[in-house]
Amino acid sequence: MSAPLRVAVAGLGTVGAGTVRLLQAEAALLARRCGRPIALAAVAARDRTRDRGVALAGVPWFDDAVAMATEADAEVIVELIGGAEGVARRVCESALAAGRHVVTANKALIAHHGTALAESAETRGVTLGFEAAVTGGIPVIKGLREGLAANRVSEVHGILNGTCNYILTKMRLTGRDFDEVLSEAQALGYAEADPSFDVDGIDAAHKLAILAAVAFGCPVRFAPANVEGIRHITADDIAFAEDLGYRVKLLGIARLGDQLIEQRVHPCLVPIDSPVAAVEDVFNAVIAEGDFVDRVTLVGRGAGAGPTASAVVADIVDIAVGRRTPTFGVPADALDSRALAPLSARVGCYYLRLMVRDEVGVLAQIARALAAESVSIEQFIQRRRDPGGLVPVVLTTHATGEEQMMRGLATLRTLDCVNDHCLIRIESF
């Protein structure tokens, strides 16, 4: 059997401790599959006294993770600290500069600096592994980059944030509104005390930027202007969507166009019979379209110590057996440089709920405002009456341009009869 592959782990939080636990628990299996042992050579974390439920006796400990990246007796540095900047970024840059392989679960780091890190890794002939950065234990990076290497991937979309999917699922099943279900998700540990990163779509947008880079062989580009979260979705919207034959999902969508690349995250109405509509609770899903394979769907748990550690160790195994591919499927100097399309370039159908005063002529005012922007209404729904009070009016449109729809909505907001609104894009996958 060959000499051990020596691995140093920076960060011993949930995923870091889970990675160490997996390496120890499955040591014999990993050695058999790799033809060599995988040895824990060092760890770095701030608190030496905390019980993490793993055996660390005799393992060299670094208080300074950046120092460990260059000084530890290790060929692989695993960064599990998190954050796009600061220590995490310095650990990865220092390790690559020293000619060491890097494995990370840090989606924000790869979304913001992945292209530069990939160039550094390829220049030095080492690996930058980030399977764990997207959808936890679902092997989507390897699936796109290696499994679909013979295909021209034209589209990748999916549910990339388990917290949002849990919230939307519970809202549909219980009829409760966003704030109440969010509180429940926080109590269960599915949402952070500050949930903004998840519910405002940033987490999903980081992951989508990485998926687009791997699917299309382009630079990683985070596009915050094309990101919208789920705070404005109500239980009424979810119920209306169901009546119309749709489910509400927060989706990341990337498409390869002739001139531009679409890359956007926002809530969508999707047909109830579509693959993505059936993915519920905290599960994630990624659907890719290839020219020869047609449609591939991957579903699984997108977070948690076990699934994420599994993905981290999968990258370590690749390094141990000598499997190497270009970081984003093609060499860094051959990445496709076509620009990202703005959200304003979208053409499609829309769902619009308006809270309006129940009085004569309101529907005519709405129709005129939209017609002025050439927005064609497909159907109107009004199921409640409250003369003089506020009632929901729901409409869906035929395919129209985003800019036209936004102009029409701006006009609607100026009408005295309109009190509130919710706009959701419709995607017919």
Instruction: Identify whether the C-beta of residue 102 lies closer than 8 Å to the C-beta of residue 7.
Output: no
Residue 213, CA distances (Å) to 90, 219, 291, 364, 406 in order: 23, 6, 18, 46, 29
d(CA 345, CA 401): 7
Pick from 309, 318, 305: nearest CA to 101: 318
Go through the domains of the chain in sequence order and give each one's CATH number: 5-138+324-332 (3.40.50.720), 140-302 (3.30.360.10), 346-426 (3.30.70.260)
d(CA 317, CA 321): 6
CA angle 131, 132, 137 (to 5 degrees): 100
The pLDDT of residue 385: 66
The pLDDT of residue 1: 60
Tokens 């014999």, residue located: 28
CB-based contacts of 69, cutoff 8 Å, min separation 6:
8, 10, 77, 90, 91, 92, 94, 95, 98, 100
The pLDDT of residue 167: 95
Tokens 């009408």, residue located: 415
The pLDDT of residue 315: 96
Phi-psi region of 218 (alpha: psi -120 to 50; beta: other; left: phi over 0): beta
Pick from 277, 278, 297: nearest CA to 155: 297
Q: Which residues of 287-297 are buried (b: 16+ CB within 10 A; e: fewer)?
A: bbbbeeeeebe
Phi, psi of 177 (to 5 degrees): -90, 175
Beta bridge partners of 128: 102
Tokens 């990246």, residue located: 69
CB-based contacts of 89, cutoff 8 Å, min separation 6:
83, 109, 113
Instruction: Identify whether the C-beta of residue 102 lies closer than 8 Å to the C-beta of residue 129.
Output: yes
Q: What is the mean pLDDT of each run of 10 residues along the chain (429 residues)?
A: 90 92 93 94 88 84 94 96 93 97 96 95 95 92 94 96 95 94 89 90 96 95 92 95 96 94 97 94 94 94 85 95 91 90 95 88 90 93 74 94 96 88 93
Q: Six-digit token pair at 385?
A: 């009456």
d(CA 53, CA 276): 37
Instruction: Identify whether the C-beta of residue 289 lies closer than 8 Å to the C-beta of residue 156.
Output: yes
d(CA 401, CA 422): 17
The pLDDT of residue 55: 83
Question: Parallel, antiparallel, or unpaired: how do β-strands 61-62 and 5-10 relate?
Answer: unpaired
d(CA 377, CA 428): 17
Instruction: Identify whether the C-beta of residue 284 lies closer than 8 Å to the C-beta of residue 159.
Output: yes
State the pTM of this model: 0.93
Residues labelled catalytic = 207
CB-based contacts of 219, cutoff 8 Å, min separation 6:
115, 213, 328, 335, 337
